[in-house]
Amino acid sequence: MIDFETPVGIQKQVDLIHNVAVQVMRPISRKYDEHEHDRPWEYINVMWKSGANAGFRGKPAKEVDTGTGESVMKYRYVLLMHTIEALSWGDAGLYLSTPGGGLGGAAIEAVGTPDQKERFLRRFSEGDPKWGAMAMTEPQAGSDTANIRTTARLSEDGKEWILNGEKIFVTSGYMAGEQSPGLIVVWATVDPKAGRAGMKSFVVESGTPGMKVVRLEKKHGIRASDTAAINFTDCRIPFDNILGSPEVSQSREGNKGFAGAMKTFDSTRPGVAASAIGIARASVDYVKEHLEKNGVPVRYDLPYHKQSAVLRDVLRMEAQLRAAWLLVLRAAWQMDAGISNSMEASMSKAKAGEAVTWITQKAVEILGPEGYSCKNLAEKWMRDAKINDLYEGTGQINRLIVARRLLGYSSKELQ
């Protein structure tokens, strides 16, 4: 029989995170939504000093028994998904401010050499709070990575890479690039004519001359999150800061650098989906509490067709939420088991992005004027929700990936 119960050890960790969400995040959620470019140090310091961000530091979580005699290390990514979901229930923007390796750390962990992992990820377990980031999106290149124009060329002596270009919408870009001894993984092309085959990823450490944060974005939602635009002007980095092979090859076998870098998304897309689910759950919980206070409790003992229209909507919200969550757990379990999860990662991301958008809008609709006002967080959750259907690959792109995997088509055959 399949057991869907959360292991005891993981549940204990989730309970601790939930306390942070209730006691630290919710009380300051509106404050940092209204003061977008202020940094939430009260949350950052709690997460760093308590070690509650262990899963974000680029190293496995500490040994915790799951209650079944098995180490939680066996469920590292499952635990991470639970952690992200619980923090996003507290506040998705604040969650994105969590110190640690972030997307940059995920990229290094996915394709970095043992030396690179030790050299770059070690910092996220030492000293003061630090951040990692990944810079991919450009003004003319979002999901279509073949259009990236940031270039990387070798110096005359072959000892350095020289980066030139502009990146936008870099999550934690300011904190990783200027505020701490952090790092940014930058996507650039070593051969513009080669398309995706020429795409490589490079580690640029904070304080490197030629890298400059030029703008902090003003956003619709997740306003507590630091989102930056960064320019690279003759930015020189060591030769061995490239992730993967510097060789350009059009063959699948020879293009391991790009393919390896893309595998970063197999681990990060379920995380985005988990964050979406946390926001959606916050909305569902609040709607149910509001209805209960007004004498309209959700009935689970009545057939669907005998429920009121409002309660049928709530049941549909819960069904969408649970379906998306199961897809996330499946993708995370595959990562823990060492099973390729590219299709499942995209499935979870596409489903959760769609579900959270609908659920949060439906919550505002059910709550009426109270949902649209700023007296509570319902309208904020609706604003926070949409980004989950956009970054880390839009819903359309992830559905395209799923279709290619199911039908056995290449990117050239199905566009």
Catalytic residues: 392
Dihedral sign of CA atoms 322, 323, 324, 326 in order: positive
Place of tokens 């200027």: 178
Encoding tokens for residue 364?
């505002």
Place of tokens 């940094």: 39
Report whether 307 contacts 299 (CB < 8 A). yes
E strand or H helix that includes residue 114 = helix 114-121
E strand or H helix that includes residue 151 = strand 151-154
Ordered alpha helix ranges (H), 61-177: 76-90, 92-95, 102-111, 114-121, 173-174
Residue 176 CA to residue 226 CA, distance in Å, equals 10
In the 8-state DSSP scheme, what is residue 311? H
Opening angle at CA 133, ends 129 and 139, nearest 5: 145
Q: Is 124 exposed, middle or buried (0-12, 13-18, 19+ CB in 10 A)?
A: buried
Amino acid identity for residue 58 in this structure:
G
